[in-house]
Amino acid sequence: MFTMFKASAKPGLTMTAATLTFTSFTRLRCALYDFAACRIYYGLFMLALLTCLMSFHSKPVLATDTFITAARVGLADYHTRITLESDQPIQYELSMLNNPGRVVVDLENVTLNQTIKSLPTKVDPADPLIAQIRYGRFKPHILRLVFDLKADAVPRTFLLEPADNHGYRLILDIYQPDKAALAEMETNVKEASPEKNLEDDALGHLVASLLKKKPERQASKDTNRFAPKSYQAAQYHKPTPPRTIIVAIDPGHGGRDPGAVGDNGTREKDITLAISRKLKTIIDKEPFMRAILTRDDDFDLPLKRRQEIARQQNADLFVSIHADGSPRPHAHGSSVYTLSEHGATSTTASWLAQKENNADSNLIGGVDIATKSGDMREIILDLSMSAMISDSVKVAELVLNELGQINRLHKKTVEQAGFVVLKSPDIPSILVETAFITNPSEEKKLKNQDYQKKMAKAIFGGIKNYFATNPALARTEVARAR
């Protein structure tokens, strides 16, 4: 074949054609390479663009969700505290809405789990600020919490780092408007003061106040020569500006427990709630006084829980409202009870014997007695019970005197009994039997709205007279210091 090619080809023409053919082939190959390179570059560009778009649009999916591991709602002095504990810092936004008043917290990238769903059940019916808590998805990556308010309020939030077996915490405090600024001032004071002295200060304050409340004895002529040895005791005797006195009103019975029932079907639980609401209205109108109800509706409420609510609210006085009953229809008159000496002894023993109390039940006057020695616990409880019974009798006598102005008295002196609701070691407590619901004449009066108002005004009159001449126990201030 090579010989045939040589014989048929002319040397000049053959070289020219070959050169042209080679050049064309080379150009074609380069064009193909350029086209392939362009396709590769285009493919890489599109891949990079697609990656960016996917990264942008899938940000909520790729972001690590925050899990709420614990949620708590607690009543404190003048505010309600909501704590959300999480496995990582919570990104959030706080806002308020009006008509009706609501506090809104938007949580970013937080999983809606059972802990969040349990929040509405943690609201205490006696909470004076929060009516209910709602939750829902506001946006795909925003979980919204809504706190419906019962009254005007001011929210405050802050974050806490993990400590003492707790994770990250978002704290929401919802304050009464006139207490928000005071709370900020107290926070600044606490930050500037050594924390190690808080317990000693609280204890000194408590003991000084309880000693002052003990029944008076014959004073010696040299008593005034001795100045108080502690700064806290000295401060207790200084004039202080008026503070808001908190009265816990407990409508007796409720829910499945109707209490005593009159001949005409009048139920004690309905009468006690009606009078309690009227008493609260009167107290709330009084300057520097505020009332809270242990129940504001018809539901079951354990006896011990009633005192717990009063303690959580740092109440200065506990008043349980009842209507008496008797198998004898002619039994009549109003009565006021305080805790008996036997009841006081059993209460002290009970508190000392408890080994697994929660943090709140260990606080007496704001001092954690669980951290004290056995002797110290007994001394604190003894002083506290003595002061509590002494003050209870004083307010009971004044209330009984006022009740005698509008109704006959069942007995002309304060009675004592071991009622469970009266067994608080640091809150003066009384139980008012307004009248006998089983007496047809008094049943008719108790159903009358005007008579209910008279009864509420009489009880308030005794309470007001008591606080006008007797300073409240120092539980609220000491609890605030804690």
Tens digit of each residue's pLDDT (9 = 90 or more) over 203-251: 455 555 544 444 443 433 333 333 333 333 333 333 445 678 999 999 9
Q: What distance in Å separates the CA atoms of residue 447 and residue 262, rounded to the nearest whole number? A: 11
DSSP string, 8-64: H--HHHHHHHHHHHHHHHHHHHHHHHHHHHHHHHHHHHHHHHHHHHHHHHTHHHHSP
Average pLDDT, the chain: 75
What confidence score (pLDDT) does residue 11 get?
A: 47
pLDDT at 44 over 70: no
Tens digit of each residue's pLDDT (9 = 90 or more) over 397-448: 999 999 999 999 998 899 887 777 777 777 899 999 999 999 999 999 999 9
Tens digit of each residue's pLDDT (9 = 90 or more) over 290-308: 999 999 999 999 988 998 8
What confidence score (pLDDT) does residue 237 get?
A: 38
What confidence score (pLDDT) does residue 205 get?
A: 52
Tokens of 310: 């009063």
223, 220, 221, 321: which is closest to 270 by C-alpha? 321
What confidence score (pLDDT) does residue 178 get?
A: 72
For residues 124-138, give the mean pLDDT.
91
CB 144 within 8 A of CB 102: no
For residues 182-201, give the mean pLDDT.
47
Tens digit of each residue's pLDDT (9 = 90 or more) over 471-480: 665 444 434 3
Tens digit of each residue's pLDDT (9 = 90 or more) over 341-383: 654 444 444 443 443 344 344 444 444 444 444 444 444 455 5
What confidence score (pLDDT) does residue 21 get?
A: 55
Predicted TM-score (pTM) of the model is 0.48
Residue 124, classed as helix, strand or coil, is coil
Q: Phi/psi class of residue 384: alpha, beta or left (left: φ > 0; alpha: ψ in -120 to 50)?
A: alpha
What confidence score (pLDDT) does residue 282 get?
A: 96
Q: What distance in Å separates the CA atoms of residue 299 and residue 295, rounded to the nearest whole number? A: 8
What confidence score (pLDDT) does residue 304 get?
A: 85
What confidence score (pLDDT) does residue 126 get?
A: 85
What confidence score (pLDDT) does residue 269 get?
A: 96
pLDDT at 327 over 70: yes
Chain centroid to Cα 227, Å, comes to 39
pLDDT at 454 over 70: yes
Q: Phi/psi class of residue 262: alpha, beta or left (left: φ > 0; alpha: ψ in -120 to 50)?
A: beta
pLDDT at 120 over 90: yes
Q: What distance in Å separates the CA atoms of residue 403 and residue 134, rounded to the nearest whole number? A: 44
Classify residue 342 by burial, with Cβ atoms within 10 Å: 0-12, 13-18, 19+: exposed
**Percentage of residues in the chain having pLDDT higher than 70:** 61
What confidence score (pLDDT) does residue 99 get?
A: 86
Q: What distance in Å separates the CA atoms of residue 183 and residue 10, rounded to the nearest whole number? A: 111
pLDDT at 96 over 80: yes
**Percentage of residues in the chain having pLDDT higher than 90:** 42
pLDDT at 73 over 80: yes
